[in-house]
Amino acid sequence: MYVYYWIALHSNYFTVFYNVSKEDEYLFKGKRKRLVEQLRLKGIKSEKVLSAIEKIPRHLFFDPTTGRPALLDHAYSDKALQIGAGQTISHPYTVAFQTEQLEIKVGEKVLEIGTGCGYQTAVLIEMGAKVYSVERQKTLFDKTKLFLPYVGYSGAKLIYGDGYKGLPQFAPFDKIIVTAGAPYIPNDLLVQLKIGGIMLIPLGEGETQEMIWLKKLSESNFDKKIMGNFKFVPLLQNKSGN
């Protein structure tokens, strides 16, 4: 049974990837250039972040089973879109903003909570980070684990698990990025951040979340800034991952 599922998943992605990679030459590259111009106007300054976004084929990251043509039209507008399993891929601006604030240097260890479709993971890989990413939805985890290498991003360590706990076995991390709205800042994540490290976490259970920027000054001291409001799906607790 599992083997059939695996083959079906592969062939599905392969077909989508093969068909759209040809189109990518013409249509999508132009769309990405325009998206990058929009992000510049909205205040993103990091050339490394902008060139990662200009390079990554975002239109391939959507669930190919959920209305692909309609989604493809929107892939390069600054919108959050469905990626399957009731989850969304963040707005390109949100991805760009969080990545810029992390100030990633080549070779740094970055923990991402909420792999989703892997788009943010791909941006982090393009920045030269060594990425560890945790996802609690098994279906999304399985898909993304197969999918990312297809689009050329095989370097990340993807883990099925609970983001609230982080990954103590791989800690400490230079940077931590949470890509779902958390009701509180999980202590395990604070512990797993290196001294001098930066964490970005959207905080709040309402319609929108406040983006919190934290820098770890010592084991018990943190510099903290609130970076404005964003909209995320919730960081879920105490639920089965399916």
The catalytic site residues sit at 90
Confirm or reject binding of residue 87 to ligand SAH (CB under 6 A).
yes
Size of the site for ligand SAH (CB under 6 A): 24
Span 132-191, contacts to ligand SAH by CB under 6 A: 134-137, 140, 162-164, 179-180
Among 44, 50, 56, 89, interactor with ligand SAH by CB under 6 A: 89
Nearer to ligand SAH by C-beta: 134 or 212? 134
- Residues 96-125 touching ligand SAH, rule: CB under 6 A, are 113-114, 116-117, 119-120
Nearer to ligand SAH, 205 or 223 (CB): 205
- The minimum distance between CB 211 and ligand SAH, in angstroms, equals 14
CA dist 36 and 42 (Å) reads 10
Residue placing its CB nearer to ligand SAH in the complex, 63 or 108: 63
* CB-CB contact of 88 with 81 (8 Å): yes
How many Cβ atoms sit within 10 Å of the Cβ of residue 242? 8
Q: According to CB under 6 A, which residues from 190 to 219 bind ligand SAH?
A: none
* Least separation in angstroms between CB 235 and ligand SAH: 4
**To the nearest whole angstrom, how small is the minimum distance from the Cβ of residue 89 to ligand SAH?**
4
CB 204 within 8 A of CB 185: no
Q: How far apart are CA 114 and CA 94, in angstroms?
A: 14
Kindly state the smallest distance separating residue 236's Cβ from ligand SAH, in Å. 4
Instruction: Name the residue nearer to ligand SAH (CB basis): 137 or 192.
Output: 137
Q: How far is the CB of 131 from ligand SAH (least distance, A)?
A: 11
Collect all residues with Cβ–Cβ distance below 8 Å to 226 and sequence separation of at least 6.
Answer: 210, 211, 212, 213
Query: What are the residues binding ligand SAH (CB under 6 A)?
Result: 83, 87-90, 113-114, 116-117, 119-120, 134-137, 140, 162-164, 179-180, 233, 235-236
